[in-house]
Chains A and B, each alone.
Chain A
Amino acid sequence: DGGITQSPKYLFRKEGQNVTLSCEQNLNHDAMYWYRQDPGQGLRLIYYSQIVNDFQKGDIAEGYSVSREKKESFPLTVTSAQKNPTAFYLCASSTRGSYNEQFFGPGTRLTVL
């Protein structure tokens, strides 16, 4: 089945630790995205990538880093510099073009202990 997978589903982190969230897609999409969602809030864009080896900061990139070494993969690292990392993290992908919708993975729920 084609789709987007994210792992792990739940992640617990101690303060001061870096953690990496996985996102893989087999939809052959060029563009991939990371969003953060806080309880009762909308989605906020962290990073996006239109093509392999290229990515751009979104609205709330501070304290996060990404890489795009393969078309299928767009991992997100939450660093210790992110002051309030507890949130629901969603990865999405889309084809390039102004009229194409995004498809989302199931999300990773990160809790800092």
Chain B
Amino acid sequence: RKEVEQDPGPFNVPEGATVAFNCTYSNSASQSFFWYRQDCRKEPKLLMSVYSSGNEDGRFTAQLNRASQYISLLIRDSKLSDSATYLCVVNLGNYGQNFVFGPGTRLSVLP
């Protein structure tokens, strides 16, 4: 079983749609969680950290369920500029060097 798994995608949605990405992780000792976005042929960029209480940043909402070892990202009112690959990242701790990346889910927002 892979350490971090994500929806296989791709997701093709119309502008204005709400889209949800799911991520599961296998190591219950995981310490922290993040969503990154990666544009084609570019580096990953931090979208948001994910906290136990859930957090929201504008149109983006992230949720963490430690009991189910599950992370989600919700994008509301999607824009063309949201088209990218979304990476779920888990930090296993051990002084912060043990980051594990999911394979990513590609999103295309269509006009």
Contacts and interface: CB of A to CB of B under 8 A. Distances in A.
Interface of A: 31, 33, 35, 41-43, 45, 48, 50, 56, 88, 90, 94-107, 109
Given A41-B103, A98-B95, A107 B42 contact: yes
Interface stretch (B17-25, B44-52, B55-63, B70-78): B44-52
A88 B104 CA distance: 16
Nearest to A104: B43
Contacts of A99: 31-32, 49, 91, 96
Contact of B97 (A33, A103, A104): A33
Contacts of A33: 97, 99
B104 A105 contact: no
Question: B interface, how many residues as a size bin?
Answer: 20 to 34
A95 B96 contact: yes
Given A43-B87, A100-B91, A101-B34, 16 more contacts: A42-B101, A43-B101, A45-B99, A50-B95, A90-B43, A94-B97, A98-B31, A98-B94, A99-B32, A99-B49, A99-B91, A101-B49, A102-B99, A106-B42, A107-B42, A107-B43
Contact of A98 (B32, B34, B102): B32
Interface of B: 31-32, 34, 41-46, 49, 87, 89, 91, 93-97, 99, 101-104
Contact of B43 (A42, A97, A105): A105
A32 B102 CA distance: 19
A35 B87 CA distance: 14
23 contacts: A35-B101, A42-B101, A43-B87, A88-B41, A90-B43, A94-B96, A95-B96, A96-B96, A96-B97, A97-B95, A97-B96, A98-B31, A98-B93, A99-B31, A99-B49, A101-B34, A101-B46, A102-B46, A102-B99, A104-B43, A104-B44, A104-B45, A106-B43
B103 A31 contact: no
Given A98-B32, A99-B31, A101-B49, A43 B96 contact: no
Nearest to B94: A98
